Amino acid sequence: MMIMMNAMISHQSLPGIKSIGFVDPEYLQPNVAFKSIAGIPIGVFCHINSISLCGNATCEAVSEYNNNGRSQKTTLKFNTTDVLPTYFKLAFIVVDTNSDSYLIGARENPYPVIKCSKSFGTPGGDPAVYSYEISLTALKSLIPCRI
């Protein structure tokens, strides 16, 4: 009989997002999650494609500890008028209001899952936007970085 228990669940919610961008993960350093866990600073040394935000964006990272080990799930939600190239593998850079930057994604698997929906707005003033939800579950999925 196997009993699964969550010994500890911790939530990290960023205080506010100043900007979001995306990069091609091929240009990232290898094994960024393992390097981050080991305390090695992570740098992003490639061109970051900025995304124009409409409204407030949210990012939440949840770490769970259970009998099988540790994992972290990060969910990023935002609205934009930009169409992202979702047919490519992407990694995302989030900069919060404290000017701290975070990487969601890596050069290796797993890659972020991107969900997109289109809203046509209302005549009363709601904007016509694309709503994106980016989620990634990995050993470490919200990686502090320098840009």
- 91 compared with 10, residue with greater pLDDT: 91
Report the predicted TM-score, pTM, of the whole model to 2 decimal places: 0.85
Does the CA dihedral 74-77-78-83 come out positive or negative?
positive
Which range, of 12-21, 25-34, 96-105, 128-137, averages the lowest pLDDT?
12-21
Q: Give me the helices (H) in 23-135, please.
A: 32-37
Per-residue pLDDT for 99 more than 80?
yes
Per-residue pLDDT for 37 more than 80?
yes
Which range, of 9-18, 84-93, 103-112, averages the lowest pLDDT?
9-18
Mean pLDDT of 4-19: 63
What is each CA distance from 91 to 69, 110, 130, in whole angstroms?
24, 11, 18
Per-residue pLDDT for 2 more than 70?
no
DSSP-based three-state secondary structure for 32: helix
Mean pLDDT of 10-30: 84
Give the chain's mean pLDDT. Answer: 87
| pLDDT confidence of residue 102 | 96
